[in-house]
Chains A and B, each alone.
Chain A
Amino acid sequence: MKQISIIAAKGGVGKTAISAAFASFAKDLILVDCDTESSDLRVLLNAKTKETTIAETMQRVRIEEDECIRCGLCKAMCHFDAIINPYGIYQIKEEHCQACNLCHKACPVSAIEYVQSEKNIWGLAESRYGDLFYAQLALGEDLNGSLITILRERARELAQDKKTDMILIDGPPAMGFAVASAIALSSLTVVVVEPVPSAIHDLHKSIQLAKRYDVPSVCLINKSDLNIEMTNQLKEYCIVNDITVIGEIPFDIQFMQAQLASKTMPDYAPDSKSTLLLKQSFNQICDLN
């Protein structure tokens, strides 16, 4: 089974459009949408939700005022200055709390409760090309990428059950800890870049991260003609670092138009040069694996 992840260090490079196009070429696969804010891939593929589950990954702590003996231990111990005591009453400052539970475990009178947040869900939806896992996070609750790990694991189980050959993971927007959770155990990660001034740095950071998790990476350059000089530098970087460039797609306004029409590129512009280039890139991935 191939597990392919598509990542980008910066938003707007076309990651989700590329994932959707690859999904349509693969035809039968399992998809994971790691954008826990807006699950754009699910929207783009018009996937219908089959089931949702409350994710038991996030906890919150709460101090029971009546039980607290105001010893101050929790405040002294918290590494994140997340416990405050205005007017002598100990409270958790939620926005600073990392939910490490240290205070809960340390409080001598068990005045700190540990509550399961019920605001985060993960779901399974049905798309034309196969089942799609997605998640929705509540505000300020993305602490350790564990929700993405759940998605990835569920996708793997389902792929094994259904004997599906491919899992395609549309990575989280931008670079962050969630990316590490998304690419772990992938057989290949596709780093999508566009030739902006930070492109080399963005690519480097993504590739380093993939290396750290022992995942081989390839590069796909989108909007390649926006800054030709930078595109050349990117290609040079790839040669020096032994990274295959699986495609180079010139700027094409149809990407935006397709997105606005909630269509994949192969649906919106089947005969376009971009669709052809996407198809060639996809074939390269299949050959590489």
Chain B
Amino acid sequence: MKIAIASTKGGVGKTLVAVNLFYAIKDIIEEACTLVDEHIQVPNIYHYIKELPQAEEVVVNVRIPEIDQNACTFCGRCVHYCAFDSILMIKDAGHIKVLDDYCTSCGACVYACNDNAISERTEALGKVSSYALDKDRFIEGRMYAIRPLASPIIQEVNEHIKDDAISIIDTPPGSSYPFAESVRDADFVVLLAEQGKAGKRNLEANIQLLLNMEKRFGVLINKSGLGDDGLFEYLQEENILVLADIPYNRKYADLHSCGEIIVQQDAHLKQLFVSVFDKIRAGVKEGQA
């Protein structure tokens, strides 16, 4: 069962929910549970796991083209073929270069060149680390440099967890591309939301995305109690499953900022996450029936 913790909006508390959901349930369920960090550009869950054991690592490689200026006839075909404007050619100066930062390793330039001037070198795009935590696991995807190519790493992470009994995935925020990529295989999506106008608009858009993808999902409202009840009314009207609302609590912010696992210190929140998990399970069962 893959559970994706998602929202295209950043800062709504995905990491907090993923980490605390994992720690709330891992010791009370029999199955092995995997916590997954897919924030490949800036993974941060590892800060919350005390005493990380030695990792098993898989390096994710990509091919980056290299142009031999001496062999190049400056015909410009590769520049024309590159859909990402990542080849810089200044013909008069006899200069041609691949701008690695923009390159997606698509190989179009290599195909384009008729003069054998382009070769490819292998470069590590990132890595996937896997840590054993007794019966459970923690998996982290990490990208070394910031490049416009996330999917090979996410795909490798997904490969790692495809047979796991239960996995809880902290998905990357922001662009809809990683959202789609990491939510695609999920059996259940925990959609995080906040109150307020922007929060509601964002939630509506995210719900639409999930409905289009025909995903099972439920909404978890974080930092509730500060705004009006418009969000709850909307969810009720639309008949959308509300998993829980986590009231705003300065203590939670403090603990989370200091790298603590809140459910280990707050029985109430732990109970809340356990009930969220039960609802997820029931939702997934319902889907299978």
Residue of B whose beta carbon sits closest to that of A99: B83
* Interface status of B259 (Cβ within 8 A of chain A): yes
**With an 8 A cutoff between CB atoms, is A145 at the interface?**
yes
Complex interface residues of chain A between 69 and 122 (CB less than 8 A to chain B): 77, 79-80, 95-96, 98-102, 105-106
> Which of chain B's residues have a CB closer than 8 A to the CB of A259?
196, 198
- List the one stretch of A23-31, A174-182, A232-240 in contact with chain B: A174-182
Q: What's the Cα separation between A122 and B44 when bound, in Å? A: 32
Smallest CB–CB gap between B112 and chain A, Å? 8
Which of A172, A198, A253, A261 is within 8 Å of B175, CB to CB? A172
Say yes or no: B47 contacts A198, CB within 8 Å: yes
- Tell me the B205-259 residues at the A interface (CB within 8 Å): 205, 209, 212, 223, 226-228, 248, 250, 253-254, 256-259
Stretch at the interface among A37-45, A48-56, A265-273, A277-285: A37-45
Q: Does B108 contact A (CB under 8 A)?
A: yes
Check if B173 is an interface residue, CB within 8 A of chain A. Answer: yes
Chain A contacts of B149 at CB under 8 A? 98
Which residues of chain B have C-beta atoms less than 8 A from A209's C-beta? 146
B130 nearest CB across to chain A (Å): 20
Q: What's the nearest-Cβ distance from chain A to residue B2, in Å? A: 16
Determine if B13 is an interface residue (Cβ-Cβ < 8 Å): yes
How many residues of chain B are within 8 Å of chain A by beta carbon? Answer: 64
Chain B CB within 8 A of A260 CB: yes
Check A101–B174 contact: CB distance below 8 A. Answer: no
| Segment from A125-133, A134-142, A151-159, A161-169 that makes contact with B | A134-142
Tell whether B129 is near chain A: CB-to-CB under 8 Å.
no
B12 within 8 A of A: yes
Instruction: For the complex formed, measure the closest distance between the CB of B242 and the CB atoms of chain A, giving whole angstroms.
Output: 19
A141 x B146 contact (CB < 8 A): no
A96 touches B205 (CB 8 A): no
Q: CB within 8 A of B108: which of A101, A194, A257? A: A101
Residue B119, interface by CB 8 Å = no
Contact A198–B44 (Cβ < 8 Å): yes
Nearest-neighbour CB distance to chain A for B245, whole angstroms, equals 14
Given the interface contacts A79-B63, A143-B177, A195-B257, does A205 sit within 8 Å of B104 by beta carbon? no
Per-residue interface assignment for chain A, residues 8 to 50, with 1 indicating a CB less than 8 Å from any chain B CB and 0 otherwise? 0111110000000000000000000001111010011000000
B15 CB to nearest A CB, Å: 8
Q: Which of B112, B150, B198 contacts A38 (CB 8 A)?
A: B198
A289 at the B interface (CB under 8 A): no
5 closest cross-chain pairs (CB), A and B: A11-B10, A12-B11, A11-B11, A197-B47, A100-B106
The contact sample of 16 A-B pairs, CB cut-off 8 A, is A10-B10, A37-B175, A37-B202, A38-B202, A77-B111, A95-B181, A98-B104, A100-B104, A173-B8, A175-B146, A178-B174, A197-B259, A251-B253, A256-B226, A259-B196, A260-B226
List residues of A whose CB falls within 8 A of some B CB: 9-13, 35-38, 40, 43-44, 59, 77, 79-80, 95-96, 98-102, 105-106, 137-145, 172-180, 194-198, 201-202, 205, 209, 212, 223, 226-227, 230, 251, 253, 256-257, 259-262
